[in-house]
Structure 1
Amino acid sequence: MITLLYVDDEPELLELGRLFLERSGDFTVLTASSAAEGLELLGRQSFDAIISDYQMPVMDGIEFLKRVRSQFDGIPFILFTGRGREEVVIEAINNGADFYLQKGGDAMAQFAELRHKILIALERRQAVDALRNSEQRLSDIINFLPDATFAINTEGKVIAWNKALEVMSGIPASSMIGKGDYEYALAFFPERRPILIDLIQEPLDKPENLGYAILQRDGSVIVAETNAPSPRGVPGVFSAKASLLFDKNGVITGAIESVRDITESKKNEVSLRERQAELKSIFAAAPGGIGVSVNKKFREINQYFCDMLGYSEEELLTNTSRMIYPDDEEYRFVMRERDRQIQERGIAKIETRWQRKDGTILDILLSSAPLIPGDLSRGLTFTAIDITDRKRVEDELRIENEKNRGLMDHANDAIFIVDAETRMLIDANKKAQDLVGKTPDEIRTWHYTNLLPPAVHGRVSLYFDEIIRDGSGSQMFPVLDREGRQVPVIINATAISQGERQCIMGILHDISEIQMTQEALEFSNRKLNLLSEITRHDIRNKLTVIGGYLELVKDRPEEPEYSMYVRKITDTFQTISENIEFTRVYQNLGSSAPIWQNVHEAFFHACTQMDIQRVCVQSDVGGIDIFADPLLEQAFYNLIENVLKHGNKVTTIRLSARANRDSAEIIIEDNGVGIPPFDKENIFTKGFGKNTGLGLFLVKEILSITGITIRENGEYRKGARFELVIPRGAFRFPGNRQSDRCHILTHEKP
């Protein structure tokens, strides 16, 4: 339905016109009695066409037309008036009226003509709108093309200039639309001149064509590349495509050109060609096999690959890759493992075996990657390196390393290898692992300072510097064992190389026993010197006593004085004799270096040297060894003798041991009468007791050589309990023995 606005100041004409126009059923007519009312209606709703009288009060039809054209643009407007002056018609047409129709005459014919004019105006408007829409769509298409694009009409004036061209040239469309005289060439060249869009209908050999490096024609389309200066004065390479524009009748209406900056593309093409040349050179000169395979068939291989396998290029390219494997099992393994690694990491690296044409087996390091990541079907590129010689050398080195490792692990000394640069531990033999109580992997996380007390870190660092400079050296340092104890060692160090890594190998010889032996010998010598002095003093005093009594005897005193003097002389001689016997035993104290001795064996050997009738001897010492003077057995003998003499009907003697991190205790206890509390501190004093008073004193002296102390800690009337305290470093548990636990029971002879 077509909606019309009919404006006239005569109501009868308005009504009559509405009736005639709506009779056909094509129109709906709204009426207004003034131009102002008509403008108001136009502001509220849209109309397809306007019919207006000319002569109206306040605002005539021409003024109404001007207002409509200024506010509502292209609505068809028909001036329907009784005035027919020529100047009114001209003014109406000049201001955009579609038709001018004069009132009067046959009403039927008049309104039929009006209806006809309305339909013609509407058709024209639809055509104009369609053309505008078409032009707008074309303009939008051109404007949003990614390539810089412009168009000209047959007069050479610019009718389109898209945004991409604005960006490329820096010239806005508003400054270029409607310009001619080759103005558009200034966007690309320094002067006005014909460009590709102007050459579409020109022969290619015209001089104007010479500005283009490449020209190709396909009907009404021409394509070119040019090295001309680019927009904004920066040189570059451009691809241009120009084409003629035609109307529906095939008449040329203009031309269009699109321009693309291919400078980077050209650079990439050059780089690609250069890269391809480099790759081809690498492909030919690489010291290894290189190739491409598709569906397990060789598609391209280099000469090195052929020479390595002894096949011609033709033989390899006409066969599958199976031909170079020694057996199906190896081939299937490589295919399976290659696909797995590529799926997981994008690249595969496999050590495999290939077979030459002459049957020789080669060890190969094969690396593969898909030509297109993630798509194995498009093919693989691979490199193959012959590692046969390297594998042979590695096998020889492995055998040599295993031999050296065996020598290291069977060495009696701890051996560490340190990286000379980082000072990190990189290897250690079994003895070293036992020393620090760490696994090889744990040791490799250690710095050399983890082995040493902080006080010697600086000295050892300087020592390592000397080794690197001089090649070898030897010094004594303490190291820390698994329990944090300081162990004195002599470090014999040598600079060595492991491949390209500079290292220091240190051999740690434990001298703790040597030091303990030296300390024990020095201690025993001091004791012997002291005893010698004491013994000389005692014997000298006893001789003085004998001399005095001899003087008294010379006077021949009467009894009982005489017998008493003789008895005193005899007792003093006996005491001198016992002192001399003690010095005979004591002089052996410390004369030999201390040794490791099994407590169980030494104790029971001492038991066999005396008559222990009806006494049960028990041992539960757990196989402990102690570092003691060789007279340890004599010390045990004296203890057992003391128990048997003074224990008062002892029936059981028990030997036991216990240990912790810092010390161990050897316990000898009996079920005899025990030691009175007031005698406990004196029983180990020289001369204490009913007899010579030297037995337990000698026990204490023998044990003290290696720092072992003894005390009596039993309960009086329940038995004696002798506790030997062994310091850290002077006891060990080398392993279970058959005699770790046993009982000896002797019976009184019949």
Structure 2
Amino acid sequence: MSGHGEEISVLHVDDDPDLGDLVAVHLERVHSDISVCTERTAADGLDRLSERAFDCVVSDHDMPEMDGLEFLMVVREEYEELPFILFTGKGNEEIASDAISAGVTEYLQKGVGTDQYTVLANRIERAVGERRAKTALEESERMLSTLISNLPGMVYRARNEPDWPMQFVSDGAAELVGYGSEAFESGEVSWGSLIKESETERLWETVQTCIAAGEPFEVTYQIETADGESRWMWERGRVVDTDDDGVEILEGFITDVTAREERERELANQRAFTEKLIDSVDDMFYVVGTDGSLVRWNDTVQSVTGYTTQRLASLGIEDLIADSDHEKLWGVFEETLETGFGTIEAGVETADGETLQYEFKGSRIEDERGDLFGIAGIGRDITERKRRERELREYRMLVENVGDPMYILDTDGTIEMVNEAMAAHLGHGRSEVIGSEPARFMPEADVEKATALIRDLLGDEERTWAAYEMRTIAADGTVRINENRVAPLFDEDGTFDGSVGVMREATERKQRERELERYETIIEAVGDPVYTLDDEGVFTYVNEAIERLTGFEPDALIGEHISTIMTGEDINRGSELIRTMLSDPTRRNVTFETDIVDQSGDHTPIEIHIALLPAAKGEFNGTAGVIRDISERKDRERQLAEFASVVSHDLRNPLNVVKGRISVARKSSDVSHLDAAASAADRMDELINDLLTLARQGETVGETAMVDLGALAGQAWVDVETGEATLEQFGTATVEADAARLRSVFENLFRNSVEHGSTSSRPGADDSVEHGSTSNSAQSDDTVAHEQRADSGAPVTVSVGTTDTGFYVADDGAGIPPEERETVFERGYTTSDAGTGFGLAIVDEVARAHGWSVSVTESEGGGARFEFTTSSER
């Protein structure tokens, strides 16, 4: 397959390294424009997506930690439109359905041979092509919409009829004439009704003539807006279609040209006004042709030079300039014609022989056709400016004696002056700095910031200067942070004439501030509470995490004593550890466990890591600490201790039986004791299996699906030795669950009902009842169990049904006494010498792993009823 010239970047995620490499090789071979980046896990794939852009994602389904569907859902949250192809060897309708629901672009099952890679390449090319085409179309539509919305008028589609009924009008209509687009499109207002009656006939004839000739039309006419104002409109349109009735459909653009019309009418008045204005200017105004001849001048030229109008008409520009400045004059003259602007200082010779110093600023001008016409400019007496230049030299002397770096920029932002301190600060000679752009010595962003500040100052009459932080880069590459005070400069006329800046280095201060900010950011990012105490045990700092643990807002704890959240005994323990650190210089920190008291008075177990705050030798300045909530760890420790207790108790009895029976068999040679030992070993095996099951049930559930409770209960009933017991079902429902683990719930409850509820399983007067960890020793409580159910002799009936908030499993057996219902779910609890005591604990663990709750009560038949709450309501 040949490419199309536009590269397609593919991220391939597959936990099989050999298959991942094989896919990359074949894809890049069959499609030269495809480049493949391979990752082994979905997590690595997500990291790669965050680092660079890809055109398509190809993923396997069965992968550790996060499978392909989970990977797809995470990708869809961040990259909604990114093509995603599920390329998997595990294919079934359920996976395909889930993938489609999650927004997969393509679902392709792996096959044998290399043809599958050609198919995969085609799917990739198609998916990427569709996405790129959609993106291009959306961009095109966006650009068109933006163009229309930015047009200074309105775009329309209308029928070619006298009233110009509109089928479409853009949003610009409201601003143009005061009527919204809805008014025109609904027929409430017709465009023809707005046109001045005097314009109607002329406009219609012009448009029809152009249409008949097959040409676009351009017309200018007057309308009356919604508020009664007369406005001039310019319209351009053409025929684009014909409807079923044979009426031409027009599309075009209408804009307001009232200002243009008015400008044209005012132009003559403006010319006359300009002439008067030029003559009233105190400076000399002139227009010089390309040959240097005087074309136009104001009255000031006559008054300054002493020449009459007739005499000036016969002179050229060089006749007014002193001979000594002629060479400079013609150089600037040519420069102005070439670049568009020029300035010269020269002597003006008057009619009576006096020479005056003037500054001439000229600009290149063109005629109405755009051809070069000459130079227009202003001549200004610079006597006063020369005086200011002398003053400036004096100020410069003062500036040179100031230790802070100082500079002046001209109106173009070029460095015009720096003092010796500035040159030394930059590590360059002054001649290297002056005339340079500031960006040579500082980042462009700081230059833009200074420019914006000067602009703000120019627009604010109340402010004369502003300060900002900026960086300078010296000749040796050293970067310094400075506080720069800038101010605009003005000439005597109040015209902006550049800017000045005075800097003071603040590198060390800013480094300290930024280091502090970094530490504060790190502390706030720590998930655990962090605090500091002064030498009296008063909070001087706490981060935001303290509120989650104590309920106190950080500001509420600042200034409070540590006793606000800790008891006196624990404070004494902490103080003793602090004294230990103070006496032992090698110890930098200590850790101890205690309780923290929250705003409600509740205690939470915590672990505190304490360190001393920096202080002069031999002094104590307070402490810093990190608090960690260890509630879950303590719970796990308690559970582990409980689990170990149950295991040690319940395995010790059958282990003792095995040892005792084998010992007797060895001594007496009576092998019948081995049967009892084998039975005890079987008992141990059953206990171990249940313990392993219980340990696994505590984990989070696996893949869930909607499960039919009735069908699953029926399957579980078949797998349990139920004897003569019967199962009844009252209604059914579906619930989202891990089917295998929910099935184990039914199996354990059915086994519990059969073993503890039926007549045959009821303990006799000599049977022992084992309560696992809830009793200190095996004791004879058989009479309690015996009294729980009348000896009817009938086999137990088990029922399964639904409730408003879940489902239940009940029997008509012996039941569970109220005083024992709180403990039946404990590990090791049993009332049978044949049970392991873990069945109901497994039931409780599975329910909690699903986010459900389970409780036990009395059934209608007097037996046990286990109710599961899976939701607030069904």
Asked which structure has the greater CA Rg, the reply is 1
The TM-score, its normalising length taken from structure 2, stands at: 0.30
